[in-house]
């Protein structure tokens, strides 16, 4: 039975959705605007219906393909997303514009999710060629280099991203986490140390997260408790809970997640972490409930983690038939997930 995972490496989609407001340009795009509002609210199937109406009424076809691609991503249909986004790029009116960069980011994420790290790498390279100051493109291309087992180029791209944003402590942590996910946490430590040198510019949360990544859980707890007290940031709660988990107090960690969810029940990331914590406490029914609630929220950035963890919860509950069925659906959406491929081989023996 495979290990339960929170797949923190799936941050790319979250980065993109934070910039979704770029749409809305052009005249006479009522149905497109309606679709984009539905996408922002996670109503992807309804958005596709609105985009069909937009096409029928002759609205901007390039924006239609772009929004269809994003809706397909929300539905974890990355193959269709690639087709739509590629078509949107092909409709370039003849000059480079911000829209080309925007569409290319979505395309690269879809390629990466489909297991085409090389294609994603090339798409990020295209973004950089259009605008060499795109720090996110350097960071994300660095992740693709790691997937291609090219650590030298990965480090080079991470360093270029940091040179473009040397005062961004969050970027240092993202680089560390990318390297740690690739089994290179020792290499990532230097980035944490560099971020710690920004001491006067760090918030309590940022300090706490850095200490957590460095394994100094007592200092992490001190700073994160201050952050949770002063801010209602789910990230502060997540890292404080993880800190208590590392310190061995998983029951208190679960209570932190539950308390946070009382005021923000629609946070898929906190629900996922609660489920992981309950798995460690052998409360598999409670974990399954948390994962299922998280999936129902429809957060594309958390879909992969939640679906994988839901399958694992069913395994621990002994419901291998349902786990097998769900795994087939999961692998259609995420065919490059090697951990899931191994887990599917295990399920075949049950």
DSSP 139-205: HHHHHHHHHTT-HHHHHHHHHHHHHHSTT-HHHHHHHHHHHHHTT-HHHHHHHHHHHHTTGGG--HH
How far apart, in whole angstroms, are the C-alpha atoms of residue 210 and residue 238?
A: 13
**pLDDT band at residue 20 under the 50/70/90 scheme:** low
Assign 2 a pLDDT band (cuts: 50, 70, 90).
very low
More confident residue, 19 or 265: 265
Largest CA distance in the chain: 60
Q: What is the pLDDT of residue 279?
A: 97
For the segment 161-179, the average pLDDT, to the nearest whole number, is 95
Q: What is the pLDDT of residues 76-122, one digit of tens each?
A: 899 999 999 999 999 988 876 789 999 999 999 999 999 999 999 99
pLDDT tops 50 at residue 7: no
Does residue 211 belong to any structural domain of this protein?
Answer: no
CATH of the domain at 286: 1.25.40.10
Contact 309, 317 (CB under 8 A): no
The pLDDT mean for the chain works out to 90
Q: Region 242-265: what's the mean pLDDT?
A: 96
Q: Is residue 177 part of a domain?
A: no
Burial class (CB in 10 A: 0-12, 13-18, 19+), 98: exposed
Other CB atoms within 10 Å distance of the CB of residue 251: 11
105-143 per-residue burial string, b: 16 or more CB within 10 A, e: under 16: bbbbbbbbbbbbbebbbebbbbbbeeeeebebbbbbbbb
Is residue 11 predicted with pLDDT exceeding 70? Answer: no
pLDDT number for residue 21: 46
d(CA 256, CA 245): 11
Which residues lie closer than 8 Å to 9 by C-beta, 6 or more apart? 143, 177, 178, 181
Residue 208, pLDDT score: 95
Percentage of the chain beyond pLDDT 90 is 79
What stretch of H or E contains 340? helix 338-347
Gap between the Cα atoms of 267 and 265, Å rounded: 6
Radius of gyration of the chain measured on its C-alpha atoms: 21
Q: Choose the weakest-confidence range: 97-106, 204-213, 226-235.
A: 226-235
CB 317 within 8 A of CB 1: no
C-alpha torsion angle, residues 2, 8, 9, 14 (rounded to 10): 130
Percent of the chain whose predicted confidence (pLDDT) is above 70:
91
Query: Does position 272 have pLDDT exceeding 80, yes or no?
Result: yes
Summarize the confidence of residues 131-135 as an average pLDDT. 95
pTM for this predicted structure: 0.84
Listed residues 85, 114, 143: the one ending a domain: 114
**Residue 145 resides in a domain:** no
Q: Is residue 163 part of a domain?
A: no
Domain count for the chain, please give it.
2
Q: Residues 273-322: pLDDT tens digits?
A: 999 999 999 999 999 999 999 999 988 889 999 999 999 999 999 999 99
For residues 220 and 28, the model is more confident at 220
- Given 97, 114, 131, the domain boundary residue is 114
User: Which pLDDT band, with edges at 50, 70 and 90, does 9 fall under?
Assistant: very low
pLDDT of residue 4: 52
211/116 Cα distance (integer angstroms): 34
pLDDT tops 80 at residue 24: no
Say how far apart CA 252 and CA 305 lie, in whole Å. Answer: 23
The domain of 274 spans: 249-350
Any domain includes 133? no
- 258: which residues sit within 8 A by CB, 6+ positions away? 274
Give the CA distances from residue 186 to residues 46, 138, 140, 181, in Å, rounded to whole numbers and listed in that order: 46, 21, 20, 11
- pLDDT of 1 reads 56
Among candidate residues 89, 114, 139, the one where a domain is terminated: 114
Residue 204 lies in a domain: no
Residue 234 is assigned to a structural domain of this protein:
no
In a domain, 341, yes or no: yes
* pLDDT value, residue 12: 55
Q: At residue 8, does pLDDT exceed 50?
A: no
Query: What pLDDT, on the 0 to 100 scale, is given for residue 94?
Result: 80
Given this model, what pLDDT does residue 28 score?
47
- List, in order, residues 6 or more apart from 12 with CB less than 8 Å away: 109, 112, 140, 143
């Amino acid at each position: 039975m495979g290990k339960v995972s929170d797949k923190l490496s799936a941050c790319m989609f979250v980065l993109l959705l934070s910039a979704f407001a770029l749409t809305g340009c052009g005249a006479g795009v009522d149905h497109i605007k309606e679709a984009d509002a539905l996408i922002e609210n996670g109503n992807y199937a309804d958005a596709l219906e609105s985009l069909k109406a937009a096409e029928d009424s002759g609205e901007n076809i390039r924006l239609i393909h772009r929004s269809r691609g994003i809706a397909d991503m929300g539905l974890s249909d990355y193959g269709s997303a690639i087709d739509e986004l590629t078509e949107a790029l092909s409709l370039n009116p003849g000059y480079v514009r911000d829209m080309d960069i925007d569409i290319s980011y979505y395309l690269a994420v879809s390629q990466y999710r489909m297991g085409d790290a090389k294609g994603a790498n090339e798409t990020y390279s295209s973004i950089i060629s259009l605008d060499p100051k795109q720090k996110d493109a350097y960071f994300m291309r660095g992740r693709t280099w790691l997937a291609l087992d090219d650590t030298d180029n990965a480090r080079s791209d991470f360093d270029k991203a940091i040179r473009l944003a040397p005062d961004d402590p969050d970027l240092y942590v993202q680089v560390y986490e990318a390297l740690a996910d690739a089994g290179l946490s020792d290499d990532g430590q230097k980035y944490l140390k560099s971020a710690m040198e920004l001491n006067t510019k760090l918030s309590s949360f940022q300090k706490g997260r850095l200490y957590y990544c460095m394994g100094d859980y007592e200092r992490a707890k001190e700073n994160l408790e201050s952050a949770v007290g002063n801010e209602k940031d789910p990230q502060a709660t997540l890292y404080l809970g993880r800190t208590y988990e590392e310190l061995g107090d998983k029951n208190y960690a679960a209570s932190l997640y539950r308390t946070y969810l009382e005021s923000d029940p629609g946070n898929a990331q906190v629900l996922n972490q609660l489920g992981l914590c309950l798995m460690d406490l052998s409360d598999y029914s409670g974990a399954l409930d948390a994962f299922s609630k998280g999936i129902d929220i429809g957060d594309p950035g958390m879909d992969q983690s939640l679906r994988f963890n839901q399958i694992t919860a069913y395994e621990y509950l002994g419901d291998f038939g349902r786990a097998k069925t769900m795994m087939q659906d999961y692998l259609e959406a995420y065919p490059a997930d090697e951990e899931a491929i191994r887990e599917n081989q295990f399920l075949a023996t049950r």
